[in-house]
Amino acid sequence: MFNTTLTNATRFGRAVNLATALGLAIAVPATAMAADKTLTIYTYDAFAADWGPAPGIEKAFEETCECDVQFIATDSSIGALRKVQLEGDQTKADIVLGLDTNIAEAARETGLFIEHNAEVSSLTLPTGEWTDNTFLPFDYSYFAFVYNKDNVAEPPASFEALMAMPDDFKIVIQDPRSSTPGLGLLLWVQEAYGDKAMDVWKSLAPKIVTVTKGWSDAYGLFLKDEADMVLSYTTSPAYHDIAEDDQRFASAAFDEGHYLQIEVAAIVGSSKNKELSQEFMQFMLSDTVQDIIPTTNWVYPATTTANGIPEGFKKLHLPETSLLIDGVEVEKNRTAWIDQWVETLGQ
DSSP states along 262-296: EEEEEEETT-S-HHHHHHHHHHTTSHHHHHHSTTT
pLDDT at 75: 87
For residue 25, give Cα distances in angstroms to 43, 68, 327: 41, 26, 55
- Please check the confidence at residue 175 and state whether its pLDDT lies above 70: yes
Residue 330 and residue 198 in one domain: yes
Distance (Å, whole) CA 102 – CA 334: 9
Dihedral over Cα of 93, 95, 99, 102: its sign:
positive
pTM for the predicted model, two decimal places: 0.87
The reply to whether 120 and 196 lie within a common domain is no
* Whether residues 324 and 189 fall in one domain: yes
Query: In the prediction, which pLDDT does 277 show?
Result: 98
Same-domain check for residues 131 and 189: no
Which carries the bigger pLDDT value, residue 85 or residue 347?
Answer: 85
Label the pairing between strands 136-148 and 229-233: antiparallel
pLDDT tens digits for range 123-150: 999 999 999 999 999 999 999 999 999 9
Say whether both 11 and 135 belong to one domain.
yes
| Tens digit of each residue's pLDDT (9 = 90 or more) over 300-320 | 999 999 999 999 999 999 999
Residues 44 and 74 sit within 8 Å (Cβ to Cβ):
yes
> How many domains, the chain?
2
For residue 322, the one-letter residue type is S
Residue 295, Cβ neighbours under 10 Å: how many? 18
Same domain membership, residue 110 and residue 14: yes
Q: What percent of the chain has pLDDT over 70?
A: 90
Q: Are residues 321 and 237 in the same domain?
A: yes
What range does the domain containing 292 cover? 2-140+263-313
Whether 102 and 225 share a structural domain: no
Shared-domain flag, residues 326 and 183: yes
Does one domain contain both 160 and 136? no
Q: Are residue 35 and residue 132 in the same domain, yes or no?
A: yes
Quickly state the pLDDT bin for 36 (edges 50, 70, 90).
low
Residues 283 and 218 in one domain: no
* CATH of residue 145: 3.40.190.10
CB 45 within 8 A of CB 180: no
